[in-house]
Amino acid sequence: MGDVIVGYQGELGAYSEEGVMAMFPNADRRASSSVRKVFEAVEVGRVDYGLVPMENSQAGSINETYDLFLRHGLHLVGETVVRVNHCLVALPGVLIDELAEVTSHPQAIAQCEEFLNGLGVRIRAEYDTAGAAKRIVEEKLGATAAIASRRAAEVYGLSVLEERIQTYPDNYTRFGAVSRDPTPLGEPDKSSLVFGVGHVSGSLYRCLGAFAERHLSLSKIESRPRAGRPWEYVQYVDVEAPAEAPEMIEALGEVSEHATFTRLLGSYASGISRTR
Question: Which residues are the active-site residues?
Answer: 173, 175
What is the Cα gyration radius of the chain?
20
- Alpha helix stretches (DSSP H) within 61-176: 63-71, 106-111, 113-119, 129-139, 150-156
DSSP 161: E
Question: What are residue 217's phi and psi, to 5 degrees?
Answer: -85, 130
- Check if the beta carbon of residue 216 is closer than 8 Å to that of residue 247: yes
What are the phi and psi torsion angles at 140 (to 5°)?
50, 55
- Kindly state the helix (H) or strand (E) to which residue 35 belongs, with its residue range: helix 35-44
Q: How far apart are CA 267 and CA 239, in angstroms?
A: 9
**What's the rounded Cα separation, in Å, for the pair 165 and 148?**
10
Phi/psi at 75 (5° precision): -115, 140
Coil, strand or helix: which one is 203? helix
Q: How far apart are CA 157 and CA 137, in angstroms?
A: 8
> Phi and psi at residue 199, in whole multiples of 5°?
-85, 65
Report yes or no: 139 and 192 within 8 Å, Cβ to Cβ.
Answer: no
Give phi and psi for 218, each to the nearest 5.
-100, 120
Is 128 strand, coil or helix?
coil
